Structure 1
Amino acid sequence: MIRLEELTKVFETPNGPVVAADKVTMEVPAGEICVLLGPSGCGKTTALKMVNRLVPPTSGKIFIDDKDTSKLNDVQLRRSIGYVIQQIGLFPNMTIEENICVVPRLLGWDSARAKKRAAELLDLVGLDAKLFLRRYPKELSGGQQQRVGVIRALAADPPVMLMDEPFGAIDPINREVIQDEFLKMQSEIKKTIMFVSHDIDEAVKMGDKIAIFRAGKIEQYDSPDKVLAHPANAFVADFVGADRTLKRLRLVTVEAVSDRAWPAISRHAKVRDALVAMREHNAHVAIVLDSDQRPTGYLTEEMAEGAGGVAQDVARPVPTTVPARADLRAVVSEMFANDVMWLTCVDDGGRFAGVVTQAAVTAVLGETYRKPGLVAL
């Protein structure tokens, strides 16, 4: 857990004092990611750097796991916090293994333990330890270097991580890949993380909570869904964008809105059985499955009316499928691309996992707006 209480930073300049952080108070629950977001110069990076005292606070308190960090010296504090920056900062004259082992060795780990940890972490981010441990940073791509920078911060297993625009310098394709790998890793290691970003889409994807800063103050601190659905004021609404409802599509998975009870029949089933199943479910489509439960086609009421034989003789191919783990952006995109109002969902093995409809997507987006006492701006 990270807790900031009335945290303030005033810089003295030739033109007088400048308040970079103004009585910032917030708490990041253990195991969650909080993204600090806001325009340039709003104080988000200053707030982050005060946590590991790269910027000394003017006043206020910082607690990590309920311990007042002012009672720790700078070295103790920083060795207990993982720190990742956009510039990566790998030591060019050290191998990848040596880079990862820097902090563990400073903490007195023996060589075998440190090397084992380095190999485990490389595997965790999809880099083969046998291939990468002996390489030097210049022999890695930018995306690979960034992964090493992230796991180096994790090497000594710190309870807290600070990340200052860690993926900002990576191209969009690799950024998505690394973000996904980091979230997968976070689901296992459950670190408490403060993460500075300038990208609202990244914040929505990565954060359990978002803190919107302006002029050194927090304008809103809430879940991504609440920030997008109910911005606290006009500034927050403008900052997150007029398309904030569409951004919320990223927050919901297909699995969360798919109807697993949707009528699905064997390709060898009779057409009239498909019609009965549709009517019982009040559905206009039945999905046709092969022997491995993979969707191969569909029947509509109109196609089934008066038709004889078995389903596979009448069915049309499904236009496309969407993974159950995908977010609703993928659903909406595929619906538009295929000019359909429904899509078949599949699990990781390609097996039928329900149907998602346009009505279901609309309903889930409207849920937050319908909660009592909440009015969208």
Structure 2
Amino acid sequence: MIQLENLTKTFTLPSTTIVAADKVNMTVPSGEICVLLGPSGCGKTTALKMINRLIPPTSGRILINGEDTSGLNDIELRRQIGYVIQQIGLFPNMTVEQNICVVPKMLGWDIKRAKARAAELIDLVGLDPRQFLHRYPKELSGGQQQRIGVIRALAADPPVMLMDEPFGAIDPINREIIQDEFLKMQAELKKTIMFVSHDIDEAVKMGDKIAIFRAGKIEQFDAPDKILAHPANPFVADFVGADRTLKRLRLVTAEEVTDRNCPVVSRRATPQEARNAARSSDSRIIVVIDADHRPVGYVTAEEMEGADGSITDFAHALPATVPVRADLRAVVSEMFANDVMWLACTDDKGRFAGIVTQPAVTAALGETYKRSEMN
């Protein structure tokens, strides 16, 4: 847990005093990600750097897991904290494995334990240890280097991580991939993380909580859904954007609204079997699957009435499928792109997992509004 209590930082110049952080208060529970968000110069990076004392606070307290960090020297404090910045700073003359092992070796870990930790972490971010541990930074792409920078900060297993726009320099496609890998890793490691970003979409995707800063103060500190559904003031509403309702689609996955009772038949089924499957469900759509349970087409209940022959004589190709892990914004985008009202969903192995419909998406959005009002 990280607690900031009346945290303040002022800079005194010859003609004026600048308040970079003004009585910042927040509590980030253990295992959660808090994203600090706001315009340039709003105090979010200053607040982050005060936690590991890269910038000393003028006043206030910082507690990590209940301990006032003012009683720790800089080395003791920073041993508890992993730190990741946009400019990764990997050592070019060291292999990936050596880069990851730097901090554990400084802390006295034996080399066998440090190397085992490096292999464990590199696998967690979707890179093959056999291929990457012995490469040098120049042999990696920018996205791969950024992943190594993240796991280097995790190598000594710190309870707290500070991340200052860690994915900001990565192109959009690789950024999404790295964000997804990081969230998978976080689900397993459950670190307490403070994360500076300037991107509202990234904040909504990554954060359990979001703190929106303006002129050194927190304007709103809340769950992403609450901020998007109920901005605290016009500044917050303007900052998160007029399309905040659409942004809330990121907060729900296809899995949460998938209809798993959609009738299913094999490619070798007859129209009679399709009619029987349709009668056991309210759905007019009947999905056709192959021998591996992957969706390969569909027919409608109306087409099957009075039909004869093979189901493949009537089956239509699926315009697209979506993974159950996809958020609803991606689902809706795919629906619009293909001008359809429903899509088949697949699990991690590509097997049919149900269908998601536009009415189900609309209903889910309404439910998130109700939940946000109750919290």
* Aligned counterparts of 1:305 and 1:82: Cα–Cα separation in 2: 63
Whether 2:154 is the aligned partner of 1:180: answer: no
Instruction: From the superposition, tell whether residues 156 and 71 of structure 1 become closer, same or farther in structure 2 (CA, over 3 Å).
Output: same
Letter in 2 for 1:343: L
Letter in 2 for 1:129: P
Q: Verify the 8 A CA contact 2:225 2:372 in the aligned structure 1.
A: no
Alignment partner, residue 107 of structure 1: 107
TM-score relative to the length of structure 1? 0.93
Alignment partner, residue 282 of structure 2: 282
Whether 2:62 is the aligned partner of 1:53: answer: no
Secondary structure, in 3 states, of the residue corresponding to 2:94?
coil
Unpaired stretches in structure 1, ≥5 consecutive residues: none
1:26-105 aligned within 5 A: 26-105=26-105
Instruction: Output one character per residue of 1:2-53: Cα deviation in whole Å (capped at 9) or x when no partner.
Output: 1111111111122321111111111111111111000011110011011101
Q: Verify the 8 A CA contact 2:226 2:372 in the aligned structure 1.
A: no
Q: Verify the 8 A CA contact 2:43 2:215 in the aligned structure 1.
A: yes
Letter in 2 for 1:67: E
1:189-204 aligned within 5 A: 189-204=189-204
Instruction: Output one character per residue of 1:139-174: Cα deviation in whole Å (capped at 9) or x when no partner.
Output: 333222212211111111100000000111112222
Secondary structure, in 3 states, of the residue corresponding to 2:179?
helix
Letter in 1 for 2:179: Q
Which stretches of structure 1, 4 residues or longer, exceed 4 Å deviation after superposition?
Answer: 371-374
Unpaired stretches in structure 2, ≥5 consecutive residues: none
Alignment partner, residue 247 of structure 2: 247
Letter in 1 for 2:98: E
* Aligned counterparts of 1:134 and 1:305: Cα–Cα separation in 2: 63
Q: Verify the 8 A CA contact 2:290 2:296 in the aligned structure 1.
A: yes
Instruction: Output one character per residue of 1:236-270: Cα deviation in whole Å (capped at 9) or x when no partner.
Output: 11111111111122221111101001222334444
Q: Verify the 8 A CA contact 2:80 2:159 in the aligned structure 1.
A: yes
Letter in 2 for 1:7: L
Q: Please give the root-mean-square deviation of Cα atoms over the aligned residues, in Å.
A: 2.1
Alignment partner, residue 4 of structure 1: 4
* Aligned counterparts of 1:189 and 1:10: Cα–Cα separation in 2: 35
How far off is 1:284 after superposition?
2.3
Letter in 1 for 2:19: V
Instruction: From the superposition, tell whether residues 369 and 112 of structure 1 become closer, same or farther in structure 2 (CA, over 3 Å).
Output: closer
Secondary structure, in 3 states, of the residue corresponding to 1:316?
coil
1:212-361 aligned within 5 A: 212-361=212-361
Instruction: Output one character per residue of 1:205-239: Cα deviation in whole Å (capped at 9) or x when no partner.
Output: 11111111111111111111221122111111111
Instruction: From the superposition, tell whether residues 296 and 136 of structure 1 become closer, same or farther in structure 2 (CA, over 3 Å).
Output: closer
Instruction: Output one character per residue of 1:96-116: Cα deviation in whole Å (capped at 9) or x when no partner.
Output: 333222221221222232233
Instruction: Output one character per residue of 1:314-348: Cα deviation in whole Å (capped at 9) or x when no partner.
Output: 33222222111212122212211221111111212
Q: Verify the 8 A CA contact 2:37 2:196 in the aligned structure 1.
A: yes
* Aligned counterparts of 1:316 and 1:109: Cα–Cα separation in 2: 60
Instruction: From the superposition, tell whether residues 90 and 371 of structure 1 become closer, same or farther in structure 2 (CA, over 3 Å).
Output: closer
Secondary structure, in 3 states, of the residue corresponding to 1:317?
coil
* Aligned counterparts of 1:372 and 1:315: Cα–Cα separation in 2: 42
Instruction: From the superposition, tell whether residues 265 and 93 of structure 1 become closer, same or farther in structure 2 (CA, over 3 Å).
Output: closer
Instruction: From the superposition, tell whether residues 290 and 177 of structure 1 become closer, same or farther in structure 2 (CA, over 3 Å).
Output: closer
> Percent identical across equivalent pairs?
75
* Aligned counterparts of 2:130 and 2:272: Cα–Cα separation in 1: 59
* Aligned counterparts of 2:233 and 2:350: Cα–Cα separation in 1: 44
* Aligned counterparts of 1:357 and 1:339: Cα–Cα separation in 2: 12
How far off is 1:200 after superposition?
0.8
Single out whichever of 204-213 and 365-374 deviates more from structure 2: 365-374
Single out whichever of 311-320 and 147-156 deviates more from structure 2: 311-320
Whether 2:175 is the aligned partner of 1:156: answer: no
Instruction: Output one character per residue of 1:148-203: Cα deviation in whole Å (capped at 9) or x when no partner.
Output: 21111111110000000011111222222211211111111111100000011111
